[in-house]
């Protein structure tokens, strides 16, 4: 029984060592990935990240503004056409 406990402790120690090594490798990978991303960004090959989604939000706002402008332009053209028709009718009546 005592030998089994010793083996369990050895396995636990080994697992702790492996977990520590995995954390170290993960941190190294993350640092390398960040460095690579920075180099790509400096080269202009990668767009800057916007953590608050400002680029996507501003794109949506721009799209809504463009749609609003198109709608307003359509309405103004309709009103202009209506006014022109009314003026033609008045000229014909006179």
Domain ranges of the chain: 1-49, 54-94
> What pLDDT does 76 receive?
92
Distances (CA, A) of 68 to 3, 54, 58, 65, 78: 79, 21, 15, 5, 15
What pLDDT digit, counting tens, does each position of 49-80 carry?
666 777 788 888 889 899 999 899 999 999 99
What pLDDT digit, counting tens, does each position of 16-49 carry?
888 888 888 888 888 887 777 777 777 775 555 6
Contacts of 83 (CB under 8 A, 6+ apart): none
């Amino acid at each position: 029984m005592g030998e089994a406990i010793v083996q369990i402790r050895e396995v636990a120690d080994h697992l702790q060592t492996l977990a520590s090594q995995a954390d170290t490798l993960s941190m190294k990978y993350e640092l390398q990935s960040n460095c690579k991303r920075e180099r790509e960004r400096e080269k202009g090959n990668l767009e800057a990240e916007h953590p608050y989604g400002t680029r996507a939000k501003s794109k949506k706002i721009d799209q809504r503004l463009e749609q609003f402008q198109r709608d307003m332009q359509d309405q103004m053209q309709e009103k202009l056409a209506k006014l022109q028709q009314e003026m033609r009718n008045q000229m014909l009546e006179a």
